[in-house]
Amino acid sequence: MGGATPLSPSAGELLAWGLDPSWSRRVRLPGADGRPVDWHVLDTGAGTHGTIVCVHGNPTWGYLWRDLLETLSPAWRVIAVDQTGMGYSERGRPRVLAERIEELVTFCRQEVKGPLILAAHDWGGPVAIGAAGSLEIDAVILGNTAVAKPVDVKVPPLIAAARSAADLTCRRSPLFVDGTARMTHKEHRAALRAPYRTADRRAAVRDFVLDIPVKAQDHSYDALGVCADVLGKLRCPILLLWGGNDPVFHDRFLRDLTRRAPHADVQRFHDAGHLVMLDAPVGAVVSDWLQVNASSRASPEPESTFRSVLAGVLERSSDQGAVYIGPEGTLRWSELADRSAVAADVLRTDGCTKGDRVSLLIPPSPELLVAACAVWRCGGVPVVADASAGIRTLRRLVRANAPRYVIGTRATLSVARLLRFAPGARRASFGAMPGTLNLARQSGTGSKEVVVLGSFDTAAIVHTSGATGPAKAVRYTHGQLAAQREATTRMFSPDAGDAFTTSFGAFMLLAPLLEMACVRPDFDIDKPSTLGFEQLSAATNRAHVTTAWLSPASAKAVIASAQGRTVAIPLVMLAGAPVSTSILHEIGVITGGDIRTPYGMTECLPVTDGRRGETNGSLGGTGVGSPLPGCEVRISALGLTGQGFVEAQEWGEILLAAPWLFDGYEHAVDVDVHSTVVIDSQRFHRTGDVGYLEGGRLYVLGRSVHVIDGAEGPLASVAIEEPVAAALNRDVAAVGIGPHGTQVVCLVLSGEGPLRLAPPDLRDRARKAAGVSLAAVLEGALPTDRRHESKIDRIELGSSVNAYLAGR
């Protein structure tokens, strides 16, 4: 039986499985035992950029990489190998991990010239990573895999079961092969089973399972240790494509991998299973990722002039001035330095090291700032949560971030524990609490030890609210934060002793970054409308407040409760959503200040600076001013996702690049895979907003998902709404209903109660004011988001309008 060479799959079979028959070929190479082995590979042939060698796991074969083979050629040459004894490669010679690694190295040296990328899945992971130690490689792409069993994890039960009766489950019966094939969609099953039809052909499946080392005595234990070591030392870009629904390699294995390779990018597919390469559109993701990682990343400040936020805090360690003033108390710069040193000691002693994700479930307070600085002192990465997104979203994001530590209050830690936000994470709080680290330990003053931070090190992860799409975890490097500080302070050049106040919870973390004191008004942080005039004026009395960042809901609340009173604030920034001219005017009267409406988002803040109404664009929309120096704005044609950049004719999606543009989405959860586009080797962020540039100024026309896709071409909702809102003097929302490409426009006038048809006189005035043909004019309450209480959820509104008019 030794050396039996199965036939390659027939052209008919390959076609039926969606593979190009010309890809299938055989390769002879010197085996690890000195005798030649015969491999079957799927090889797309010549690629312009380089070669991607794909290594499957057990018990799959090259078919697993179908999407990559299809999507990436001809830009890349993709070779999916069948490992010895598996797929359509030679049978009958048992292999251990070290031998498989050796053979893969031989294969790559023999077959590949030029840039090389290794892709691997399942137990192909250790083989590829092991080989990476002996090869010059440019990038690594990994699916659900492991290089070590995390200490807090048992052997996956499915593997344990397979091992205990390996011959029966894996060779004599097709149980293991079938079980694996059933983890993905039906259409893939025949192809996955095909090379493993008889017991003879399944021998290597059994041998592979038996070779998985679980204890030190196992044959390949040391070899796997070497692989883990290699992964820790890899400096090339790494992409982890992770199926979130995998009973074998679950999220704790993901966390183990990201701990070993903190610079890895993670694209997590929430609903994909173990065979993520077949369950998810990995080809498109890899294509985008390679585009970005093959080109230079937008580089922030040069290293020499770089100064991290932490360095700024440490410099002021004897400053008695306040950095935070809130209803819970005041925090001085010196206290921030001292208390964070103590907390950092506790974390460091517990093992917190560079790159560790630390989830901060702390409402804005002195402790939030102390915790963030303590994490930075250890080289860790604070993950700043946004509770306003709702508990389910919060849980999903925290879980996906797989933090090593969770720092919270008694209440938030209990919730996190009860709902299993972060299974296996260490819990910490300021104060004694059983089973948690006490970050406020009174012994000693804390060592002054800090980890040196570089501009490319990850600095923070901030959750978006999900007000305008799925909530995401946005990652920044220290260099990007430093660039953000420069851009922001340039907008209002603060003097020493100046303070700011805000209705945005996350902005309070900017205090140490901007080196300005933050005054937190006494209001419910999750309900911006509870920040009224009383609260604002009380806050300004507590420090020399020169700047206020307000959400539109807060601005409205301040106006409603001012009753003719005034409070002097030299600069008011209204951000978060477009606001009407009357609000701008009234806030101007109340504060006597300069009122600005900068544009930006969690991924890139700030983008522009300007005052609304300064100029009017020819296509309508909200004028948000000119892009800040260093920030580049491009307008991309709509509906071309995945096709690169095409300049829009009139208006289109707003793309942004800036030194302070975020680094990427962390463990992207259900995120549109095309959020990045590279133009002239510069990385641009697709904002999902639409607008246009005119005379060097940017005008925003709303969200791209709110664009009405009519038969005569796309219509921006904002451009339809504005003239009607002005004519009727009330809030309106335009939504498109019906299938894309033939949507019709319906207008909803804000009012109390459920949706209904607008009365004839209002309807006729609205029709007259709108520049386009309207199918229906309705009246009713407009749904708004939770964080800003002002962004109209046009998607929800659209589906209600659709249901109402359909008669459902």
Partner 1 sequence: MRVLVTGASSLLGSTVARQLAERGDAVSCFQRRPSNTGCVDVLGDIRDAQGLRRAAQGNEAIIHLAALVAPRPAWSDAYAINVGGTAHVLDASVECGRLVYISTPSVAFENVASVGEEAEEARYTGRDAYARSKALAETLVLERMSVPTMILRPHLVWGPGDTQLVGRILERAEQGRLVLPDHGRALLDTTYVDDAASAIVAGLDRTGDAPEICGRPFVVTGNDPRPLAELVQGILTAAGRTQAFRSLPAPLVSFIGRGVGRLWPNDEPPLTLFAARQLSLSHWFDQRETHAALRWKPQVNVDEGFERLRSWFERQDKKTLR
Does residue 802 belong to the site contacting partner 1 (CB under 8 A)?
A: yes
Q: Give me the residue label for tokens 């819970």.
A: 328
Rounded least distance, CB 737 to partner 1, Å: 7
- What is the 3-class SS of 332-352, one letter each residue? EHHHHHHHHHHHHHHHHHHCC
Tell me: does residue 737 bind partner 1 (CB under 8 A). yes
The stretch near partner 1 (CB under 8 A) out of 398-406, 515-523, 526-534, 799-807 is 799-807
Contacts of residue 497, Cβ cutoff 8 Å, sequence gap at least 6: 321, 517, 544
Which residues lie across from 756 on neighbouring strands? Answer: 779
CA separation for the pair 518, 548 (Å, rounded): 10
How many residues contact partner 1, by CB under 8 A?
22
SS3 letters for 190-244?
Answer: HHHHHHHCCCHHHHHHHHHHHHCCCCCCCCCHHHHHHHHHHHHHCCCCEEEEEEC
Q: Could you say which of 505, 738, 780, 798 contacts partner 1 (CB under 8 A)?
A: 738
Q: To the nearest whole angstrom, how small is the minimum distance from the Cβ of residue 277 to partner 1?
A: 37
Q: Least distance (Å) from partner 1 to the CB of residue 795?
A: 16
Q: Least distance to partner 1 from the beta carbon of 284, Å? A: 28
Which of 10, 582, 681, 773 forms a contact with partner 1 (CB under 8 A)?
Answer: 773
Task: Specify the stretch interacting with partner 1 by CB under 8 A; choose among 41-49, 72-80, 169-177, 739-747.
Answer: 739-747
Cβ distance to partner 1 smaller for residue 680 or 712: 712
Considering the rule CB under 8 A, would residue 769 count as an interface residue with partner 1?
no
- By beta-carbon proximity to partner 1, the closer residue of 495 and 712 is 712
CB 665 within 8 A of CB 671: yes
Q: 767 with 804: CB under 8 angstroms?
A: no
Shortest Å, Cβ 744 to partner 1: 6
Residue closer to partner 1 by CB (options 528, 780) is 780
| Residue span 696-735 as binding mask against partner 1, x where in contact by CB under 8 A, dash where not | ---------------x------------------------
User: Is 294 in contact with 268 (CB distance < 8 Å)?
Assistant: no
Give yes or no for residue 435 binding partner 1 (CB under 8 A): no
Q: Is position 739 an interface residue for partner 1 (rule: CB under 8 A)?
A: yes
Interaction between residue 302 and partner 1 (CB under 8 A): no
Residue type, 554: S
Q: How far apart are CA 605 and CA 607, in angstroms?
A: 6
Per CB under 8 A, 775 contacts partner 1: yes
Going by the DSSP 8-state scheme, the letter that residue 602 receives in this structure is: T
Q: Which two tokens stand for residue 2?
A: 């030794």
Least distance from partner 1 to the Cβ atom of residue 768, Å = 10
CB nearer to partner 1: give 517 or 766: 766
List 3, 327, 741, 754, residue binding partner 1 (CB under 8 A) = 741
Q: What angle do CA 362, 366, 369 make, to 5 degrees?
A: 70
How many other C-beta atoms are found inside a 10 Å radius of the C-beta of residue 714? 20
Toward partner 1, which CB reaches closer, 664 or 780?
780
**Rounded least distance, CB 3 to partner 1, Å:** 59
Q: Tell me how far, at minimum, the Cβ of 760 lies from partner 1, in Å.
A: 6
Interior angle at CA 452, CA 516 and CA 605, nearest 5: 40
Residue 152 neighbours by CB under 8 Å, 6+ apart? 252, 424
Strand partners, 329: 326
Could you say whether residue 761 binds partner 1 (CB under 8 A)?
no
Residues 51-90 that bind partner 1 (CB under 8 A): none
Pairing of strands 426-429, 405-408: parallel
The answer for residues whose C-beta is within 8 angstroms of residue 493's C-beta and 6 or more apart is none
Residue 799 is a binding residue for partner 1 (CB under 8 A): no
Using CB under 8 A as the binding rule, whether residue 772 contacts partner 1 is answered as no
Query: Which of 299-307, 345-353, 449-457, 754-762 is the region at the interface with partner 1 (rule: CB under 8 A)?
Result: 754-762
Told to check if 742 binds partner 1 by CB under 8 A, we report yes
The residue among 420 and 768 lying less far from partner 1, judged by its C-beta, is 768
Q: Which residues 6+ apart lie within 8 Å of 246 measured at CB? A: 144, 273, 274, 276
If binding is defined by CB under 8 A, does position 762 make contact with partner 1? no
Cβ atoms of 676 and 683 closer than 8 Å? yes
96, 135, 199, 744: which one binds partner 1 (CB under 8 A) = 744
State the minimum distance, in angstroms, from the CB of residue 708 to partner 1. Answer: 12
Residues in the chain: 808
Least Å distance, CB 769 to partner 1, is 14
CA angle centred on 391, ends 386 and 396, rounded to 5°: 85
Note whether 667 and 266 are within 8 A (CB): yes
End-to-end CA distance of the chain: 67
With CB under 8 A as the contact rule, the residue among 96, 727, 757, 781 that binds partner 1 is 757
Residue closer to partner 1, measured from CB, 154 or 756: 756
**Minimum separation from the CB atom of position 428 to partner 1 (A):** 53
> What are the residues whose beta carbons fall under 8 Å from the beta carbon of 734, sequence distance 6 or more?
708, 715, 717, 720, 721, 724, 745, 746, 747, 748, 770, 794
Nearer to partner 1, 2 or 760 (CB): 760
Minimum separation from the CB atom of position 273 to partner 1 (A): 34
Task: Write the CA distances from 180 to 54, 184, 239, 245, integer angstroms.
Answer: 19, 8, 23, 14
Q: Which residues in this chain contact partner 1 in the complex, by CB under 8 A?
A: 711, 737-739, 741-744, 756-757, 760, 763, 767, 773, 775-776, 802, 804-808
